[in-house]
Amino acid sequence: SQQGEEDPQALSIQEGENATMNCSYKTSINNLQWYRQNSGRGLVHLILIRSNEREKHSGRLRVTLDTSKKSSSLLITASRAADTASYFCATAGGTSYGKLTFGQGTILTVHP
Amino acid sequence: NAGVTQTPKFQVLKTGQSMTLQCAQDMNHEYMSWYRQDPGMGLRLIHYSVGAGITDQGEVPNGYNVSRSTTEDFPLRLLSAAPSQTSVYFCASSYSADYYGYTFGSGTRLTVV
């Protein structure tokens, strides 16, 4: 079974709006990562947040982590049509060092 | 740097055939992994390695074999292909499991008929 579950499964917004995606996981982690996948392409690493961090920023991305609730959220501010992609959370560590486990992803569509 | 290189990009196999998917990275990454991606299933981990000579099973290892004789290469062997192995396969590598994300290859689209 997969470690992470993303919510919503699909999100449709207008350009300029903010997009928020959530991820829940089941077991203890060392870090949580977010990836983007454009249609038919490989995954691209966006941001990593360690278990002792609560919030992290990178450009228009903001990630939060709540280890007590075993959940994370990815916020993309001022979305652009080019942000249209699938977004995946992935968890690493805990008792399985070196193992990165993915959720099923959120499909984001940003309309121009 | 080439990053993570996967070959071939496309492959059609007949049921029962065997083949090796190649993965090479030139970033001196210790951590390497193989995933399969099926529609609506996200990515599922097949096998992973934390260094040369060290491999371990992921979520869906049955029907697949790996070895890691060098830091650079992490081939995935399909022992006897089955239609259920039709999927897109991704190889990924990372410098560190704690502080760095993974770099993914562009994938191999495999069809087993």
CB contact under 8 A, A92 and B97: yes
Three-class DSSP category at A47: strand
Burial B35-70 (b: 16+ CB within 10 A, else e): bbbeeeebbbbbbbbbebeebbebbbbeebebebee
From the centroid of its chain, how far is CA B56? Answer: 13
CB contact under 8 A, A104 and B40: yes
- What is the C-alpha to C-alpha distance for residues B53 and A92, in angstroms, rounded to an integer? 21
Best CA proximity match to B38, nearest among A80, A109, A102:
A102
CA distances from B26 to A39, A42, A107 (A): 26, 17, 31
CB contact under 8 A, A45 and B101: yes
Q: What is the pLDDT of residues B48-62, one digit of tens each?
A: 999 999 999 999 999
Cβ-proximal residues to B74 (8 Å cutoff; 6+ apart), any chain: B23, B24, B25, B32, B34, B49, B66, B68, B91, B93
- What is the C-alpha to C-alpha distance for residues A80 and B94, in angstroms, rounded to an integer? 29
Which residue in A99, A104, A105 is closest to B58 by CB distance?
A: A99
pLDDT higher than threshold 60 for residue A2? no
Number of inter-chain CB pairs under 8 A, A vs B: 75
Q: Are A102 and B42 in contact (CB under 8 A)?
A: yes
Closest chain A C-alpha to B60 CA, distance in angstroms:
10
- Per-residue pLDDT band for B1 (boundaries 50, 70, 90) equals low
For B101, name the nearest residue in chain A, comparing CA atoms only: A45
Instruction: Count CB neighbours of B99 within 10 A.
Output: 11
Q: What is the pLDDT of residues B31-90, one digit of tens each?
A: 999 999 998 778 999 999 999 999 999 999 999 999 999 999 999 999 999 999 999 999
Q: What is the pLDDT of residues A22-51, one digit of tens each?
A: 999 998 899 999 999 998 889 999 999 999
- What is the C-alpha to C-alpha distance for residues A41 and B69, in angstroms, rounded to an integer? 28
- Per-residue pLDDT band for A94 (boundaries 50, 70, 90) equals low
CA distances from A63 to A18, A53, A72 (A): 13, 10, 7
Place of tokens 């992803």: A105
Which residue in B43, B97, B103 is closest to A102 by CB distance?
A: B43
- What is the C-alpha to C-alpha distance for residues B87 and A90, in angstroms, rounded to an integer? 20
Q: What is the pLDDT of residues A69-89, one digit of tens each?
A: 999 999 999 999 999 999 999
CB contact under 8 A, A99 and B105: no
pLDDT higher than threshold 50 for residue A1? no
Instruction: Count CB neighbours of A21 within 10 A.
Output: 24
For A102, name the nearest residue in chain B, comparing CA atoms only: B43
Say what the pLDDT of residue B42 is: 85
